């Protein structure tokens, strides 16, 4: 990670956002009160083979509120990021590269001299102070107010954002009651929570003997596939193509086992790091070249034949 930068990850890309645009935590190193950052620290341990999974840290603490009932809880991220990360080093001296904050006038800007601008257009901003932004935060900053109970399976999973484990904070009796009641009624609760300066819709539900909270995207954050012309102009497949495609799907169907999937890129990088630490360099295997393009029908036929041959081989083996 790079000091003074916040990382936004998208498939195949890394975007760096200057600290000046972060509203959570005014001072460098400030956790922002009862809300903790769920991102790795910029000066964390050097990347490479991990000694073992670390326990997640508390991200948020507050109350679950149902009417007049308040249940103090702590929230921890349910997922661990096991991605491969690198530090940028100067090639000649091998020391980490760092960044300074510059304004467009070319001056170095101290963190204390930063205010926040709401963009209105090119080079036009409404300037906001940190205290004004703090005053605009809703009550959900420290409370998850549960509005109603719903059927968990009615929620479109594409709206799911992040899931947090909720732990009782000296509230074991009330926590246990709510968890058991949700189990018995097969219901989840909808509410709101403010994390990292954004108010989110949150779904609180029971999972493996615990209460968890899953933040949801808003309706206007979702992209409707129907707006893309390329999908409206899709050709109608032929009956024979559908038949062979159905055979392929049937041949490849089975039980879901996520443990069989591994991050091969991370494993190769860690093996490379270990080999370089030991003095010998093990170069990762090169990817095989892409096979020649075939017609759709020919590719379907060959795939179906290969799967059938594999199935026949297992029967006779």
Decide the pairing of beta strands 116-121 and 124-128. antiparallel
The structure's pTM equals 0.65
Range from 40-54, 77-91, 92-106, 263-277 carrying the lowest mean pLDDT: 40-54
In the predicted model, is pLDDT for residue 25 greater than 90? no
Stretch 230-243: mean pLDDT, rounded?
A: 91
Q: What is the pLDDT of residue 287?
A: 62
In angstroms, the CA 180 to CA 186 distance is 10
Stretch 244-260: mean pLDDT, rounded?
A: 88
In the predicted model, is pLDDT for residue 227 greater than 70? yes
Range from 8-22, 172-186, 215-229, 233-247 carrying the lowest mean pLDDT: 8-22
Cα Rg of the chain (Å, integer): 26
In angstroms, the CA 111 to CA 152 distance is 44
pLDDT bin (cut points 50, 70, 90) of residue 293 is low
Q: Give the chain's length.
A: 317
In the predicted model, is pLDDT for residue 299 greater than 90? no
Residue 20 corresponds to which tokens in the numbers above?
């000046």
The helix/strand/coil state of 142 is: coil
In the predicted model, is pLDDT for residue 14 greater than 60? no
Q: DSSP class of residue 170?
A: S
Output 74 or 9, whichever has higher pLDDT.
74
In the predicted model, is pLDDT for residue 19 greater than 80? no
pLDDT bin (cut points 50, 70, 90) of residue 131 is confident
Range from 107-111, 274-278, 311-315 carrying the lowest mean pLDDT: 311-315
pLDDT digits (tens, 9 = 90+) for 140-177: 678 998 999 999 889 999 999 999 999 999 999 999 99
Stretch 187-202: mean pLDDT, rounded?
A: 89
pLDDT digits (tens, 9 = 90+) for 74-126: 999 998 877 788 889 999 998 999 888 999 898 999 988 988 999 998 889 99
List residues bridging with 212 in a β-sheet. Answer: 165, 205
CATH of 5-48+57-221, one of 2.40.290, 1.20.1540, 2.60.40, 1.10.287: 2.40.290
pLDDT bin (cut points 50, 70, 90) of residue 289 is low
The helix/strand/coil state of 6 is: strand
* Average pLDDT score over the chain: 79
| Domain positions in the chain | 5-48+57-221
In the predicted model, is pLDDT for residue 281 greater than 70? no
Work out the number of other CB atoms within 10 angstroms of the CB of residue 30: 10
In the predicted model, is pLDDT for residue 56 greater than 80? no
Q: What is the pLDDT of residue 72?
A: 96
The CA-based dihedral angle spanning residues 41, 45, 49, 50, taken in that order and rounded to the nearest 10 degrees? -70
- Cα 262 from chain centroid (whole Å): 17
């Amino acid at each position: 990670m790079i000091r003074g930068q916040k990382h936004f990850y998208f498939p195949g890309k890394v975007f760096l956002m200057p600290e000046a645009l972060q509203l959570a935590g005014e001072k460098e190193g400030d956790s922002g009160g009862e809300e903790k950052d769920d991102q790795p620290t910029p000066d964390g341990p050097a990347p490479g083979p991990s000694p073992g999974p670390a326990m997640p840290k508390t991200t948020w603490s507050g109350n679950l509120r149902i009417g007049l009932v308040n249940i103090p809880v702590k929230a921890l991220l349910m997922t661990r990021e096991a991605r491969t990360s690198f530090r940028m080093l100067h090639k000649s001296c091998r020391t980490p590269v760092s960044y300074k904050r510059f304004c467009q006038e070319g001056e170095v800007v101290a963190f204390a001299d930063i205010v926040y601008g709401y963009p209105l257009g090119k080079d036009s901003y409404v300037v906001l102070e940190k205290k004004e932004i703090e005053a605009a935060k809703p009550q959900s900053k420290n409370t998850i107010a549960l509005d109603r109970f719903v059927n968990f399976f009615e929620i479109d999973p594409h709206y799911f954002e992040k899931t947090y484990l909720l732990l009782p904070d000296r509230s074991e009796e009330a926590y246990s009651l709510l968890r058991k009641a949700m189990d018995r009624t097969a219901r989840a609760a909808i509410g709101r929570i403010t994390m990292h300066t954004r108010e989110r819709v949150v779904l609180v539900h029971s999972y493996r003997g615990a209460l968890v909270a899953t933040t949801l995207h808003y309706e206007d954050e979702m992209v409707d596939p129907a707006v893309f012309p390329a999908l409206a102009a899709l050709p109608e497949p032929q009956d024979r193509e559908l038949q062979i495609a159905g055979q392929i799907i049937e041949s490849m169907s089975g039980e879901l086992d996520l443990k069989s999937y591994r991050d091969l890129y991370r494993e190769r990088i860690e093996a490379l790091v270990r080999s370089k630490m030991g003095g010998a360099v093990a170069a990762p295997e090169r990817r095989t070249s892409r096979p020649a393009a075939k017609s759709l029908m020919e590719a379907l036929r060959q795939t179906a034949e290969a799967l059938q041959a594999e199935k026949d081989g297992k029967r006779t083996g």
